[in-house]
């Protein structure tokens, strides 16, 4: 997934709501259609990141659990 992303957010060690707050800033920096890779260790991101995408219109292209990490690949929505 990493090779597909133009931006990466490592939110490892952070707890709700910090990963989503940081994701807002990362998505603002991305251009429409660009991919953002998110790496987190907080299990609540399994709920929060899909809701973030649904609410703001971004696409959740992939989601995986790799050991103790939750990994997401998002595509920024067109404005």
Residue range 54-75: mean pLDDT, rounded: 97
Please state, for a pLDDT cut of 90, what percent of the chain lies above it.
Answer: 94
Select which of 7, 10, 14, 16 is catalytic. 16
Give yes or no for a contact between 34 and 6, defined as CB atoms under 8 angstroms apart. Answer: yes
Residue range 26-37: mean pLDDT, rounded: 97
Q: What is the mean pLDDT of the chain?
A: 96
Residue 62's pLDDT band (boundaries 50, 70, 90)? very high
- Count Cβ atoms below 10 Å from residue 56 Cβ, excluding itself: 13
pLDDT at 44 over 80: yes
The pTM assigned to this predicted structure is 0.95
Known catalytic residue at 53: no
């Amino acid at each position: 997934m990493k090779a597909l992303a133009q931006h990466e957010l490592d939110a490892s060690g952070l707890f709700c709501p910090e990963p989503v707050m940081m994701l807002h800033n990362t998505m603002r920096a991305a251009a429409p259609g660009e991919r953002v890779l998110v790496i987190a260790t907080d299990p609540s991101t399994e709920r929060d990141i899909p809701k973030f995408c649904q609410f703001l219109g971004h696409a959740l292209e992939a989601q995986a659990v790799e050991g103790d990490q939750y990994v997401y690949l998002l595509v920024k929505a067109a404005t």
